[in-house]
Amino acid sequence: MPYLLNLIYVLLILLSLPWLLWQAIRKGKYREGFAAKFLGIVPRRTSHQTCIWLHAVSVGELNLLAPLLQVLTRRRPEWECVISTTTATGMALAKKKYPGHTVFYCPLDFSWAARTAMRRIQPQLLVLAETELWPNLIRAAGESGARVALVNGRLGERSFHGYRRIRPLISRVLRHIDLIAAQDNTYAERFRSLGARPETVVVTGSMKYDGAQTDRNNPATQRLRRLARFADDDVVFLAGSTQAPEEEAALAAFCALKDTWPKLRLVLVPRHPDRFESVARLLDDSGLPWQRRTTLEEKGLNGGAPEASSASRILLVDTVGELGGWWGTAHIAFVGGSFGNRGGQNMIEPAAYGAAVCFGPNTWNFRDIVATMLDHRAAIVVRNSEELTGFVRRCLAEPEFAAALGERARALVASQLGATDRTVDRLLPLVESGIRCQ
């Protein structure tokens, strides 16, 4: 089976080679980490400490690791945690967010790369975030004596139907996993129906709630608020994790409302760094004054006042890893990736701060969270640019509506806390027992 998978992966890479080369030349993607990805030459661990290898594919999953690492460090400070990721954006964030941990690119799911990486890391436990089911990596972990856990497990309807078509393969993979900590009962039952051993599947809740900051006065948000020169009576409309054409929709809402509400401020945070320049061109074309987040930082580093211009009411956040802090400045929040085909982005962070939250109709990646928020009247769905403008207008004209919406969102997040501790309660015995289930 490993050799068949290797052949399939090679064929897929060959078929995708023109596109991969184009992305590498045009956008600089896939250039880093060749030795780690294709050969498994990751940093060699030399200590004899108990080791947990945590894998998170990109930005969303890496943010998810923060509360998990915090609880693990508190409860087992003598253990060593190393972190792998897949994307260049994820690597940049991981190095910035987890400077005290070894960070590396995860090997691609070739058997030789996975085995080499396992020999170099020698973990006692491999922890995969959400839906990272890589057969050769999981097999290599088992062969090396490490146990395997899937945390914050989710299996959306699309993925579930896709996996059912290859159930014989996926069931063999799932049987090699020692713990599947699912977000809810629906996901848990889907894992069981695909062949996971029933005794390994438990419901622990979504750790995404635990990772959310609830205090608007946290140091990161306070610093960003000062940097942007937000006044106490400013109303910040923040569109975060956006993709095209969501920045255009948010800008249209701002343009329609800026004269009636002169204290309205707009903050745009595109999801991917390679879109910063295209959003900058959009703002240039608007003819309105605007500023870049990196310009503010440069002014501060060069000795000038690290502040935005009071004449500019639009800010483009062209940095990675700060969105959590910026959400704390928002009174009105639009969560991106929800007008197009991305399937939505994490709406818990602005909800936890008590912002008036809205998002588009395409949020299947967060279907369970969206359903919970809508059931609790903690968010609003806007289907297009016109409805986004209408939502922002209502929040400005009816501040009591915005405040009530935000309070329901904040209370909902508070009621969901605790999944990380429940997950760690399940992870610790896997390591401490030292016995792998077969």
Catalytically active residues, by annotation: 61
CA pair distance 435, 429, nearest whole angstrom: 10
Residue 212 identity: A
291: enclosing H helix or E strand: strand 291-292
The encoded tokens of residue 132 equal 């990272």
- Using a 10 angstrom Cβ sphere, with 0-12 exposed, 13-18 middle and 19 or more buried, the burial of residue 21 is exposed
5-19 burial by CB neighbour count: b if 16+ within 10 A, else e?
bbeeeeeeeeeeeee
Q: Residue 197 has which token pair?
A: 């051993």
Q: How many CB atoms neighbour CB 158 within 10 A? A: 11
- Cβ neighbors of 48 (< 8 A, separation 6 or more) are none
Cβ contact 172:210 at 8 Å? no
Q: How far apart are CA 237 and CA 396, in angstroms?
A: 10
Task: Please answer whether residues 186 and 208 qualify as being in contact, where contact means their C-beta atoms are separated by less than 8 angstroms.
Answer: no
Spatial neighbors of 353 by CB under 8 A, at least 6 apart, are 213, 214, 216, 327, 328, 330, 406, 410
Which two three-digit tokens encode residue 20? 């991969």
Start-to-end Cα distance in the chain: 18
Strand partners of residue 149 = 127, 179
Q: What is the DSSP letter of 178?
A: S
